[in-house]
Amino acid sequence: MKIGILGIAHMHVNSYVDILKKQGVKIVGVYDHNEVAGNNFCQQEGLEFYPSLEELLNLDFDAVLICSENVYHKELSLKACSAKKHILVEKPMALNSKDCLEMIVAAKKENVQLMVAHPVRFSKPVRDLKKIVDKKMLGCVISINTSNHGKNPGGWFINPVLSGGGALIDHTVHILDTINYLFGLSPKYVSAFYKKSDPSLQVEDSGLVGISFSDGVILSLDTSWNRPKSYPVWGDAVLEVVFEKGYVIIDGFGRKMKFFDNQSMEISEVFYEEDMDSLMIDGFIEAIKNNTAVPVTGEDGLYTVKIAETALKSATQQRTIPIN
Amino acid sequence: MLKVGLVGLGFMGSSHLSVYKQLMDEGYPVKLVAICDVNEEKRTGKLTQGNIDVSDKSIDFTEFSFYTNMEEMIENEELDYVDICLPTYLHAPYAIKAMEKGLHVFCEKPMAISTKACQEMIDARNKYNRYLMIGQTLRFFPSYQYIKKIIDDKTYGELNEVALFRGGTTPLWSWDNWLLDKERSGGCLLDQHIHDVDTINWLLGTPKAVYTNGKVYFDGSGYDMVSTNYIFDNKVVNAQDNWTINNDDFGFEMRFRFSFKKGTIILENGKLTDYPNNKKSFAPQIDERSGYYLEIKHFAQSILDDVDPQLACPLESTMETIRIAEAEIVSADTNKINFLDK
């Protein structure tokens, strides 16, 4: 299998490239609108840089990995569709649900597969929880209290023109994809608040989202870039799920061991299970190789963007917003 | 996502509109949200046909908010930049107003009606710290970029001769016939021939002197026909323009011939041909996209990247083009060779 990379602005591209190399996928070339950044990346990774998107897409390969700034996801996806390449696009799928729909339609029209990089549903704890939900081991779900914390990534993430929004966008999509995967719930109302810890920030770095779903399930979500610099890992994706006959709490990022080192006097935490990014990329490669459905579809991506954009609207307009 | 307001929906405004439509169809993160024109009829998309068919009938005008006043548009819409396609004499005042209101500006060529007005635009850009670029579109045309590369790479050695021509039907389509009003457009010399003046300035720099013959054909117009010899050391450089070739079979034509020590490159009848000395001629492989598309995308990408768009088309340079054109007008008026200060 051969892959082209479109855009390297998102830091996930580094781990994706490592995984692709490990899996024996050939990376035919890399495009980015920023030639300096693109060339630097290619030098580090030993890859070939293409300043022309068209030239890269004219090569013979199977799929593209899109890791550009969010604002270019749609354009790059549409061009990949026209070039008949399958697509793995970083989350959030696009800046708004209208753009997501256009991407879904284009992929169907050109008969290419479109997958959105939502890794949390691939983690071991989420897979384990999925079994509990599907087998109704604790009955039906009643309510969910969840959080997705991280650190402020800076750079283009905090420029709303390029990112479409801050923590409210960046993290809501992670959790809502996990919720969609686990429960397949339809959202009915969204109510959200956001905050900038520093007034000079152009985007919010803290957000609280409340959602009620069509079958009475309620959810609260803390979606924030508020982990301090000293926090031992990047963040978390905690789900507390209240069922009819019990309660489950997991960290969707995986299980951690705590590491106490008297020499450095530091405490660190290490995720020890198989890496969710790796499992996600495997899922994509397998679907393309075997021509089976990708594990996270464009429709799944749209589900999360629709909720995130409604949350942003709710927070801006300070009212509860119905969602269809 | 960049939000754009288009100011002026005449001939060039219509062609820019098509470019925005194409960019939006391609998913490029730019959105034309509003259009401003003094003519209410433009609200429904009645487009101006010039001598090149650049309009697109498939555009749905209900997608855009329509204004007859630019300031009102800027106040009501959250725009990132305006694209100014107004008559030449309005470039400076409107560009300055938009920058004062906090917006970046992409402005059609020629930069302004005079060097004084050009300087006011540059001063405003510095005062309000906004991005400003002039759409001297040939600098983005792949066929002209091809020449630029041949010169820069010294592929064919020394450049010996440059012969440029533009011409076509008289522009009778403009609002209030401003194009045929010397005071508002500067005539064919400042409106159409300016492309070739800019090409010479961009590729060769400022000439030592200009000697221009011009003829005013329409009452009140600027020079409608023009031929200029540009004085450079060891180079023969001439550019001609005539916008009174009134036959639709001709329409519009731009030609160039760049003759080097080891080869000559000619654009004529829309075809670019490279003639290396004593070797087989060939049609170079160049980007098929138009200069209008490439210049607008360059400007939008620069705004997205927060880099100065004028790096590709410096304001000092587009102002120098106006200074050379003014020297040509003086030469034609006095029928004398006119030396330019360095």
- Selecting from B28, B80, B305 the residue whose C-beta is nearest the C-beta of A75 gives B28
Shortest Cα distance, chain B CAs vs residue A208, angstroms: 25
pLDDT above 90: percentage of residues in chain B: 91
Nearest residue to B49 via CA among B234, B252, B242 = B252
In a domain, B72, yes or no: yes
**Residues in chain A within 8 Å Cβ distance of B26:** 75, 78-79
Under an 8 A CB cutoff, do B27 and A164 touch? no
In a domain, B58, yes or no: yes
Domain shared by B304 and B239, yes or no: no
Fold observed for domain A120-276+305-322: Dihydrodipicolinate Reductase; domain 2 (3.30.360)
> Taking the domain A2-117, which CATH number applies?
3.40.50.720
d(CA B232, CA B191): 24
Which tokens belong to B272?
A: 């670019």
Question: Would you state the pLDDT for residue B56?
Answer: 58
Question: What is the overall mean pLDDT for chain B?
Answer: 95
Pairs from B295-300 (Cβ < 8 Å, separation ≥ 24):
B295/B135, B295/B137, B295/B139, B295/B140, B296/B16, B296/B19, B296/B20, B296/B23, B296/B83, B296/B106, B296/B135, B297/B19, B297/B23, B297/B28, B298/B140, B299/B81, B299/B106, B299/B133, B300/B2, B300/B4, B300/B23, B300/B28, B300/B30
Domain shared by B128 and B162, yes or no: no
Under an 8 A CB cutoff, do A34 and B28 touch? no
Under an 8 A CB cutoff, do B304 and A34 touch? no
Residues B21-57: pLDDT tens digits? 999 999 999 999 999 999 988 887 776 666 655 555 6
Residue ranges making up the domain that contains B120? 2-135+292-309
Question: Would you state the pLDDT for residue B53?
Answer: 54
In a domain, B316, yes or no: no
Domain shared by B189 and B331, yes or no: yes
Under an 8 A CB cutoff, do B1 and A161 touch? yes
Domain shared by B256 and B329, yes or no: yes
Question: Would you state the pLDDT for residue B45?
Answer: 72
ipTM over 0.90: no
Residue B118 has pLDDT above 80, yes or no: yes
Shortest Cα distance, chain A CAs vs residue B2, angstroms: 7
Question: Would you state the pLDDT for residue A231?
Answer: 87
- Selecting from A74, A75, A161 the residue whose C-beta is nearest the C-beta of B2 gives A161
Under an 8 A CB cutoff, do A74 and B29 touch? yes
Domain shared by B265 and B186, yes or no: yes
Residue B2 at interface with chain A, using a CB cutoff of 8 Å = yes
Domain shared by B116 and B257, yes or no: no
Residues A286-295: pLDDT tens digits? 999 999 999 9
Shortest Cα distance, chain A CAs vs residue B277, angstroms: 31
Domain shared by B146 and B33, yes or no: no
Under an 8 A CB cutoff, do B1 and A71 touch? yes
Tell me the domain boundaries of chain A. 2-117, 120-276+305-322
Across the range A12-39, mean pLDDT stands at: 96
- The total of structural domains in chain B comes to 2
Domain shared by B131 and B153, yes or no: no
**Residues in chain B within 8 Å Cβ distance of A102:** 27
Domain shared by B152 and B66, yes or no: no
In a domain, B315, yes or no: no
Domain shared by B166 and B258, yes or no: yes
In a domain, B143, yes or no: yes
Question: Would you state the pLDDT for residue A23?
Answer: 94
Domain shared by B335 and B234, yes or no: yes
**Residues in chain A within 8 Å Cβ distance of B293:** none
Mutate to test the interface with B, among A36, A55, A64, A162 (most CBs of B within 10 A): A162
- List beta partners, residue A220: A145, A210
- Given a contact cutoff of 8 angstroms between Cβ atoms, the answer to whether A194 and A315 are in contact is yes
Question: Would you state the pLDDT for residue B127?
Answer: 98
Among chain B residues, CA nearest to A77:
B27
Domain shared by B35 and B158, yes or no: no
Under an 8 A CB cutoff, do B304 and A79 touch? no
